Chains A and B, each alone.
Chain A
Amino acid sequence: MDEAILAEEEAIHKDICSSLTDYEKNRGNLIPILQMIQQRHAYLSPDAIKTVAEHLNIPVCEVYGVATFYNQFRFNPPGRHPIRVCLGTACHVRAGDIILENFERKLGIREGETTADREFSVERVACVGCCALAPVAVVDEVVQGRMAPSKVEGLILRIRMKNERSGVRGSGSEVTSEKSDDNTNLEPLTSNPEPPFQKGAE
């Protein structure tokens, strides 16, 4: 597994280097470049930040400073099944924080972290835009409205069981097909045609 991750990181590095050539060496391009990297690879690795700094010829700490200033950027890889809990005002008033806590407890990670097996990650988002369904959580891009603490375990369990049944653990292509299967089997309340919520949004 470690080797697979190393190889993956190497591939990411190559990809970033090649796509950086499209951007002028202009400070104003810093945020668009970071956005591009995050869009392609879902997170900014320390290596990516260094590469960008070298490309724009600015100190690494400058890039890091800008990247950490904005909520959009994340610095650890998201899980294969990202979970986003909405903590907008409407969801807060209807106890969205209890939902977040339940996810944290069940997965044994804190908000913003990824489980060791990279299966799940938990994040908070500012507003998913369906306040009438509050509290809301987005699991695998499927919006789960009117969440309740007791629903949390079921949602996680369904993904885990599905994984176990098909013996999926790791390699990317299988996981993607896995994911789409999941969506249909979760009896989604609603779902989204495309990933509408940016990672790390707050």
Chain B
Amino acid sequence: MTETLHQVYDAIREKAEQRRKVFRETPGPKIHIGMATCGIASGAVETKKAFEESLAELGLAAQIHTVGCIGHCYAEPVVIIEHPDSGFPPIFYHQVTPGKARMLTKLFLEEGDPRFEHVYGAVELNEMIPSVMEFPRFNQEKRIIMQKCGRIDPEDIYDYIAEGGYSALVRAFQRSPEEVIAEIRDSGLRGRGGAGFPTGRKWEMARQSAGSDKTVVCNADEGDPGAYMDRTLLESNPHQVLEGMIICAYAVGAKKGMVYVRAEYPLAVKLVTQAIRQAKEVKLLGKGILGTDIDLEIEVFQGSGAFVCGEETALIQSIEGKRGMPKHRPPYPVESGLRGLPTVINNVKTLATIPPILEQGAEWFRSIGTEKSPGTAVFSVVGSVLNPGLVEIPMGVTLRTLIFEICGGIPNKKKFKAVQIGGPSGGCLPEEFLDTPIDFDSLTQAGAMMGSGGMVVMDADTCVVDVSRYFLDFTQKESCGKCTFCRIGTWHLLDILKRITKGEGVEDDLLQLERLSEDIKNGSLCGLGKTAPNPVLTSLRYFREEYDAHVKEKRCPGMTCRTLTAYYIDLDRCARGCDICGGCCPVTAVFSTKNRKKAIDQSLCVKCGECLVACPPDYKAVVKISPPGLAPVIERPENPPESHE
């Protein structure tokens, strides 16, 4: 069996390498364009078109290689140009607009001038151009899960195989399922979906459960607002996930697989479906994988967008065509899951970690990260950071390193206030926790949670109460309604928070928040309810003074809660005759006073902040203030020069 296995795989591998060789050895420049959802949203399609058009106009030959996302959202659309004839190493360009693309085609590809002012860095170390590898964003990352993301074409299985893809599968097939499970168990891999359950143990339980009709489900129901690492992974390297799924199916003895991916991710759905088809064509899926007697059929199920379906039992209900409401565990899905049959549900990132572990061994995996949480974690860092995007770091790196070194810190010299980790189920950590190492246990201890890996950085201008309200608003809408405390409790919690942000809070409210939060935690069945009060509880614990300011002084320290803030124009600074603020006001709340200086009609103002942004820096006349009572009242003249609609 081993011989045929190798023969079949080597044939595919050889074909892949042949194609890679043709690509590499074709003379002329090579242009790699990142084309995942984020790249496309930033205009990668236009950029690609611009390259194609200008290449055709100039009569140049170059190969355009579409790749996935490398996770550097701030730099999208990202283009890497290899132009060996120019003597320069491959160069990384960021924010390549169509215009820039045309310019680069003309000046770099034709004339050999890389336009240093637009260069972000060279891809490899060299003598001429600083390499991106010297930037903290690149060299402090440790990529296991996303190692091939942005380097290969997600639409081409051979691109993945040429990079060593599916070789872990061959290794797995050479061992017994028990040995594979032992390797995963020894690696100490914990589920990357958020809860951190040991993957090896889950597989072991599934292996032992009776019956041969088992199913492997890849959980890509990423509902967390602001987290998009699962999507990026499926869009940039779907085959690594499939490989992990096949290995899992082999280890537990499953014959069916299912990728549960959100319908809101159409590109991911398309690419995964295509990847499955391609894998089938080369006998990596279907009947008799790689010439062995192992069968596996994988299908795609499109989730319809319910946050609670990230929970295992709810996900199963949803596949069965019901409302996604969680059930009691035990029985666990590994014993009785989809249609009452044993089902293993693993997160996308967990499955993507499997191939590297089998390839390089449990020992190697254990050497990365911390003792109790080995391996790496992928975070989507958004909010007030200079370089937002996806970051994969070894576990145990501190929050400070992640936020200030890798992601470049807070822009505009603002002060760091808090970081919200784990999305709606996570917590809000203040500055004194910046030196907390990032791993499952330390974060839980601090009151936050690994969650799916969403991270929002807040500067001094963000209101912690408002962010808690935002997350609670989300969980309240997403509560499935099964447990009373989650259904009604979150509603009341939200109601109190809404009142506080409107300045209608009373002192008793804070006590109520705490009590209700504890009750919701205790009275809910699934993770959604058990963690929904976390943002409130942590922000209450660490930012009590902000709540107090809202309740007692009716003041919002972050100047975010709109009812508690007001804008006014400082008449001493306002320049007579300048009309910028009036022009940009969406509700014509800005009016001219008698001496033609401007003032704001507080009854009309919607507090969008446009005038503050628009007022020229020479004047800086627009002032934001909290509480709103501090703003001076200026009466509108009786014959207003302009009337509002």
Contacts and interface: CB of A to CB of B under 8 A. Distances in A.
Interface string B590-630: 00000000000000001111100110000000000000000
A200 B38 CA distance: 20
Contacts of B383: 89-90, 93
A60 to B, nearest CB: 15
Interface in B569-603: 583-587
B41 interface: yes
Contacts of A28: 319-321
B389 A132 contact: yes
B384 interface: yes
Contacts of A93: 382-384, 456, 458, 462, 467
Interface stretch (A1-9, A13-21, A68-76, A165-173): A68-76
A174 interface: no
B606 A101 contact: yes
B340 interface: no
A115 B223 CA distance: 29
B444 interface: no
Contacts of B38: 129-130
Given A98-B606, A191-B45, A192-B41, A131 B226 contact: yes
Contacts of A119: none
A35 B323 contact: no
A27 B319 CA distance: 10
Nearest to B231: A129
Contacts of B323: 65-66, 69
Nearest to A30: B321
B76 A132 contact: yes
A126 B264 contact: yes
Interface stretch (B144-152, B276-284, B300-308, B344-352): B300-308
B173 interface: no
Q: How large is the interface on B (under 10, 10 to 19, 20 to 34, 35 or more residues)?
A: 35 or more
A186 interface: no
Contacts of B228: 127, 129, 131
Nearest to A93: B383
Interface in A171-202: 189-198, 200-202
Contacts of B583: 150
A29 B584 contact: no
A92 B586 CA distance: 19
A87 interface: yes
Given A28-B319, A90-B383, A130-B41, A152 B586 contact: yes
B454 interface: yes
A153 interface: yes
B42 A69 contact: no
Nearest to A102: B586
Contact of A72 (B305, B380, B614): B305
A131 B382 contact: yes
Interface in B347-391: 380, 382-384, 388-389
Contacts of B76: 130, 132
A114 B610 CA distance: 27
B43 A191 contact: yes
Contact of A150 (B223, B389, B585): B585
A149 interface: yes
A42 interface: no
Contacts of B389: 132
Kindly state the interface size class of chain A when it binds its partner.
35 or more
A69 B481 CA distance: 10
Contact of B321 (A29, A71, A128): A29
Nearest to B267: A196
Nearest to B43: A190
A190 B46 contact: yes
Contacts of B40: 190, 192-193, 196
A150 B37 CA distance: 27
Contacts of B613: 148
A88 interface: yes
B264 A143 contact: no
Given A149-B586, A193-B40, A71 B304 contact: yes
A150 B609 CA distance: 10
Interface string A124-143: 01111111111010000001
B257 interface: no
A109 interface: no
- Which one of B264, B467, B585, B610 has the greatest number of beta carbons of chain A within 10 Å? B264
Contact of B264 (A32, A72, A190, A192): A72
B470 interface: yes
Interface in A13-52: 26-32, 34-35
28 contacts: A27-B322, A31-B304, A32-B302, A66-B321, A66-B322, A69-B306, A70-B304, A70-B306, A72-B264, A89-B226, A89-B456, A90-B388, A93-B384, A93-B458, A95-B608, A98-B607, A105-B587, A105-B606, A128-B41, A129-B228, A132-B74, A143-B41, A145-B42, A150-B614, A189-B43, A201-B263, A201-B305, A202-B305
Interface of B: 37-38, 40-43, 45-46, 73-74, 76, 223, 225-226, 228, 231, 263-264, 266-267, 302, 304-306, 318-324, 380, 382-384, 388-389, 420, 423, 454, 456, 458, 462, 467, 470, 477, 480, 583-587, 606-610, 613-614
Given A32-B302, A126-B264, 18 more contacts: A31-B321, A65-B323, A70-B318, A89-B226, A93-B456, A93-B462, A98-B609, A101-B606, A105-B587, A126-B305, A133-B42, A143-B42, A148-B584, A149-B608, A192-B41, A192-B45, A196-B266, A198-B264
Q: Which 4 A-B pairs have the closest CB atoms?
A: A89-B226, A70-B304, A190-B43, A30-B321
